[in-house]
Structure 1
Amino acid sequence: MNTVENRVYENWRRNIILFLTSQTISLFGSMLVQYAIMWYITLTTESGMMMTVFILCGFLPTFILSPVAGVWADRYNRKRLIMLADSLIAFATLILAILFLMGYDAIWLLFVMAAVRAFGTGIQMPAVGAILPQIVPKDMLTKVNGINGSIQAIMMFVSPIVSAALLGFAPLETIFFIDVITAAIAVLTLLFFLKIPVHEKAADKQTTSYFSDFKLGLQYVNNHKFLKSFFLFFAVFFVLMAPASFLTPLQVTRTFGDEVWRLSAIEIAFSIGMMIGGGVIASWGGFENRIKTLGFASVIMGLCTFALGVVPNFWIYFAFMLLFGVAMPIFNTPANVLLQEKVEEDFLGRVFGVMGMISTSMMPLGMLIFGPIADFIKIEWLLIGTGIFIIILAILLWRNKGLLEAGNPISKKI
């Protein structure tokens, strides 16, 4: 470890506080807009097809950009890439707010906005995933990722409440302007207060093309036995998670009532659960084998998905949504830490780019399958079926010897 890295790790607590603070502020504004747009479309159209279009607009640009963005995260300054992404989203949101003020409030504009925001997310995701090991010592990655999960959960708790309150007395463009302000604060915080040295590959003169770097990244994944199996599991998992992730607001509207407070309540339940789960994984750290922790959380989410399809009472539904939230950080944290620990730093951006491609292609694929079906088959049946398959997938994960070996602590390996 060189002198610059030593200085960074000496001040890692200050650096991670500044970084997470900037990302939290930005996330708050983004989630206000996300909830406002999602509820606006849900309550205005009550259509599974329209929700599918919204989801596709919010994911496909990230999928298309991820290969390039992963290369960027390895070739260039990751902090600047994060600032660029926030700035792009803020500028697009500002334009949309102005259009709404002028009376242009067509639904298709919200789809365009979802696509632009997804483009910025595509730039940001690989950079954020790859930058944490630059700031945080490896033995603290689980705790920091867990804390970050709790912070995100707090935002998920606060955002729907604030968004619903604002929608009750203010026009949609008010929320858009709030997002612009929060993004600006986040960018300025990173620009003036956080110093992160450029990682080694970005500091060197680039002698290969983008395509060559991307190809090398794919070869790295293909030659890495753990990554191939790991990504296959996630591809199937994300497809199966689509109904629980995106169709539950529509289910609540159809089954329990179309009041905004009900939509807000299930989001609040999920975020309270995530706060609890983030605290649990940060203090507990999970099982000694990270794959076992992933499988444990997958079983819980499968059971909750099944339960959401059968419970007849809204408040029991609320309770299972809370438990679902508890499982989410217990699932996400070991997954992120495994990549941060197992992947060489020069390939982190590209590996997280591939992960972004999987998450942003499999979710829309799931919605292409389940979204239109939800207009003539009860969503409850979709939840029951996918819940069963998620549990089966978790069992297969536990029985995969290669993944279990990769999930062991380094000291436990032969």
Structure 2
Amino acid sequence: MSTEPAVAPTARPGWRRDVALFLSGQMVSLFGSMLVQYAVMWYLTLTTKDGTVLALSTIFGFLPQAVVSIFGGVWADRHNRKFLIMGADAAIAAATLTLALLMFAGQADLWLIYLALAVRSVGAGIQTPAVGALVPQLVPADRLLAINGLSQTIQAGMMLVGPPVAALLYATLPLAGILSIDVATAAIGIGLLALVPVSRVARTESAPVGYVTDLAEGFRYVVGHPLIRWLLGLYAVVMVLAAAPSFLTPLMVARTFGEEVWKLTVLELSFSTGMMLAGATIGLWGKRFSRMTLIIGASISFGALSIGMGLSTNLWVFYGFMFLVGVAVPAFSTPSMTVLQETVEPERQGRVFGFFGIVSATAMPVGMAVFGPLADVRSVEFVLVASGLVTFVAAAVALALPSGRRAIRAARDQADPLSHGRTEPATD
């Protein structure tokens, strides 16, 4: 099977303007989504104080995205990705506006909130592969890592300002009012993206094929491509194991260091600050390092940092480890996305990002299904150390596998995206 790397577009006139509009729209839309995310979580927590309600909200918030991502990737390869993103944003805004109007009218049944969360999750399942596949259409090949790093910085920045702004709004507005803000930010995001000229990706098939055929071909491509298959497996393992430090660290702070709100706030700020600084650094200087070096180094770092947090007896040392976890996130995810964008043919990128979207949507719930109950029978410290040790083992196995060595060689052979050389990674 030929595994020719994707040829990203050369620098076209006005690409900086288009990327600026695209990222600005994504930033505004993400800001509104984060306000809703925190406000709904706090609303459900404070009004019900029911763990089952929070568990159901997580299911409705993640499961539809995982299911729809299967088809969202196919749509991203068959249709104009710009219009898919705009349509998904519009559907999310319509569902959010409907819920806001119902709540203004006094209707606040839980099933209405669950339904709105499900629609938003469906929209994310359509958007995620389309966004990942759209970036290489706008960005020259030699700037992909920089723009992906900038995107991670924006995301981290929103994570930094989102909670305090959401807290301020939650203290002064009803939930319906915050939902209305999200509708406005979605409209701004749609308007900015509408100004970006994007064409539909040309397909090489001589005759039209069905959706199921497209999906099956995408699955065969992912499974048959050594580099992508290996990267998807590593991504899944890291995401599942990262659930422990991501979701259990607030519990450890409360149990071990105290329940003061400022301590939990500093924890979130430590992570977001590390993620924001690392995203900017990788965007500026990441080209000095091998993509695979960053990916493998970050994978090993997740294990070491999880163990370090589990062994911490000082709160500020614990914050330091959490800051470094934030640094490791873009060090792993930014080069991973860039490798995919540089490797996969443009007409297949939607489906490939769709499969990665499924992993993203299911890995954290799966991880918490294991680590959450374990933290109730053993200490959080034990869970963090155990997950770190397992991460070490997983990284070692990934490096030792013949498919891992072949994947690393293939990635290094095409490390310079400007060369656009043809590589033929070994197949099984």
The alignment's TM-score, normalised by the length of structure 2, stands at: 0.87
> In structure 2, what is the Cα distance between the partners aligned to 1:21 and 1:130?
17
Q: Alpha-carbon deviation of 1:254?
A: 4.5
* Residues 1:179 and 1:197: Cα distance change in structure 2 (over 3 Å): same
Deviates more, 1:140-149 or 1:369-378: 369-378
Q: 1:47-196 maps to which residues of 2 (within 5 A)?
A: 50-191=53-194, 193-196=195-198
Partner of 2:267: 266
Q: Alpha-carbon deviation of 1:56?
A: 2.4
> In structure 1, what is the Cα distance between the partners aligned to 2:180 and 2:196?
25
Secondary structure at 1:13's aligned position in 2?
helix
2:80/2:198 contact within 8 Å kept: no
1:305/1:387 contact within 8 Å kept: yes
1:94/1:177 contact within 8 Å kept: yes
> In structure 1, what is the Cα distance between the partners aligned to 2:161 and 2:350?
31
1:26 equivalent in alignment to 2:66: no
CA deviation profile, 1:205-247 (whole Å, cap 9, x unmatched): 9711110110111111122121222211122222212222233
> In structure 1, what is the Cα distance between the partners aligned to 2:166 and 2:107?
21
> In structure 1, what is the Cα distance between the partners aligned to 2:157 and 2:276?
6
Partner of 2:323: 322
CA deviation profile, 1:275-324 (whole Å, cap 9, x unmatched): 11012211221664322211111222222222333334443333222211
Partner of 2:307: 306
2:298/2:328 contact within 8 Å kept: yes
> In structure 1, what is the Cα distance between the partners aligned to 2:284 and 2:179?
36
> In structure 1, what is the Cα distance between the partners aligned to 2:260 and 2:410?
47
Deviates more, 1:73-82 or 1:371-380: 371-380
2:223/2:229 contact within 8 Å kept: yes
Structure 1, unaligned stretches of length 5 or more?
none
Q: Alpha-carbon deviation of 1:71?
A: 0.5
1:150/1:276 contact within 8 Å kept: yes
Structure 2, unaligned stretches of length 5 or more?
1-8, 417-422
1:49/1:372 contact within 8 Å kept: no
Which residue identity does 1:272 align to in structure 2?
T
Deviates more, 1:85-94 or 1:307-316: 307-316
Q: Alpha-carbon deviation of 1:74?
A: 0.2
Q: Alpha-carbon deviation of 1:269?
A: 1.8
Which residue identity does 2:203 align to in structure 1?
K
Secondary structure at 2:12's aligned position in 1?
helix
Secondary structure at 1:9's aligned position in 2?
coil
1:199 equivalent in alignment to 2:201: yes
Partner of 1:244: 245
2:252/2:380 contact within 8 Å kept: yes
Q: Alpha-carbon deviation of 1:141?
A: 0.4
CA deviation profile, 1:310-345 (whole Å, cap 9, x unmatched): 334443333222211111111111100110011111
* Residues 1:87 and 1:255: Cα distance change in structure 2 (over 3 Å): farther
1:42/1:250 contact within 8 Å kept: no
Q: Alpha-carbon deviation of 1:81?
A: 0.3
Corresponding residue to 2:407 among 403, 409, 412: 403
* Residues 1:163 and 1:185: Cα distance change in structure 2 (over 3 Å): same
CA deviation profile, 1:28-79 (whole Å, cap 9, x unmatched): 0111111223344455667765544333222111111111110000000000
Deviates more, 1:357-366 or 1:244-253: 244-253
1:143/1:285 contact within 8 Å kept: yes
Partner of 2:419: none
CA deviation profile, 1:126-152 (whole Å, cap 9, x unmatched): 100101110011111011111111111
Deviates more, 1:241-250 or 1:123-132: 241-250
Q: Percent identity?
A: 43
Partner of 1:361: 362
Which residue identity does 2:411 align to in structure 1?
G
1:60/1:364 contact within 8 Å kept: no
The alignment's TM-score, normalised by the length of structure 1, stands at: 0.90
Q: CA RMSD in A?
A: 2.6
> In structure 1, what is the Cα distance between the partners aligned to 2:356 and 2:380?
28
Equivalenced residue count is 407
Q: Alpha-carbon deviation of 1:264?
A: 3.4
